[in-house]
Amino acid sequence: MARQPATAAPLAAKWRKLAEGRCAEKGERLTPARLAVYAEMLARGRPVSAYELIGLLEQRQERKIAPLTVYRHLDFLIRTGLVHRLQSAQTYLPCDHPDHAHESQFLLCSSCGHVDEVESSGLEALLSRIADEHGFRPDNAVVEVKGLCGTCADGQPD
Ligand SMILES: [Zn+2]
Ligand SMILES: [Zn+2]
């Protein structure tokens, strides 16, 4: 029996339902510990590194947490499509729309760290056509676009 986390960040019913749905679909078990990691990431509201996430969880649960445990939970969250890994920044971000499988496109602000997850079927179709033309079989078509978010771009002197 896995030890239950003493405390977890509050998790809105909407996200809990989505998580339960994804797990049921994938035949995965949603344990309290896994849910606590997910809730912590949602509460943070921006991408976190594994290291940062461990710190947040330790603070909330007031105990030491083995990094390997958190990595395992992150693997689970990625596997079930609840969380995305941002390759370029080596951070993790809860998916905006985990109710369906999708390739991911992200707009990453290099000034404030804000990340927007966007979904474009047009871009996905284009990427898959380009891959086709090259006889290439992609297994990961994540697109990460770096730049300035609207707010930061507005604050920039021309
Ligand atoms: Zn997503
Ligand atoms: Zn910004």
How remote is the CA of residue 152 from the centroid of ligand 1, in Å? 23
Spatial distance between the Cα atoms of 158 and 156, rounded to a whole number of angstroms: 6
How remote is the CA of residue 1 from the centroid of ligand 1, in Å? 31
91: which strand partners? 86
How does pLDDT run along the chain (158 residues), one tens digit per residue? 455 555 889 999 999 999 999 999 999 999 999 999 999 999 998 899 999 999 999 999 999 999 999 999 999 999 999 999 998 889 999 998 888 878 889 999 999 989 999 988 888 889 999 999 999 998 878 899 999 999 999 987 66
Residue pair 54/70 in contact by the 8 Å Cβ criterion: yes
Spatial distance between the Cα atoms of 86 and 143, rounded to a whole number of angstroms: 9
Q: By C-alpha distance, which of 149, 144, 49, 143 is closest to 109?
A: 149
Q: Which option is the CATH number for 105-154: 3.90.1660.10, 3.30.70.250, 3.90.1150.10, 3.30.1490.190?
A: 3.30.1490.190
Structure confidence at residue 140 (pLDDT) = 79
Class of domain 13-94 (CATH, top level)? mainly alpha
Where are the domains positioned within the chain?
13-94, 105-154
Ligand nearest to the CA of 114: 2
Residue pair 37/2 in contact by the 8 Å Cβ criterion: no
Q: By C-alpha distance, which of 117, 122, 112 is closest to 92?
A: 117
How remote is the CA of residue 106 from the centroid of ligand 1, in Å? 9
Ligand nearest to the CA of 107: 2
